[in-house]
Amino acid sequence: MRVPRLFLALCILLVGAGAVAAGAAFSPQTDGYHAPAKGAGDVLDYSIDWSKWMAGDTIANSAWTYAPGITGGAESISNDKTIVTMWLSGGTSGQTYGISNRITTAGGRSKSMGFKITVK
């Protein structure tokens, strides 16, 4: 089943610490979804809530990929297995980086979601 982009945007929340306000959402733009910008010196956690897309299923595995130049740190899956979290650090001011998360669910579903983050 193909999930419409608008529905996906409403279902996926980006939560950050520090300079990024909790509950800040991805913003849809012509080149895809964008997370709120982060500073080059910031180390922030970002969470994606997959619960609405999974409709009762749970996350079995999660893998993150990062564009060269930005650093991904610790990764985790919430206790209820519906939210994935990772930490980002580094990056060069003025550069935009692609980040992607791919999950596999206990029920056998597989889905990727990518977004971009600009370092300020």
- Residue spans of the domains in the chain: they are 5-118
* pLDDT digit string (tens) for the chain, length 120 residues: 444 443 343 344 433 322 233 346 778 888 888 999 999 999 998 889 999 999 999 999 999 999 999 999 999 999 999 999 999 999 999 999 999 999 999 999 999 998 999 999
| Cα torsion 98, 7, 104, 73: sign | positive
The verdict on domain 5-118 having CATH code 2.60.40.10 is yes
DSSP string, 69-114: TEEEEEEEE-TTSSEEEEEEEE--TT-EEEEEEEEEETTS-EEEEE
- The amino acid present at 49, given as its one-letter code, is D
Quote the pTM value: 0.77
Question: Do 72 and 88 touch, CB atoms closer than 8 A?
Answer: yes
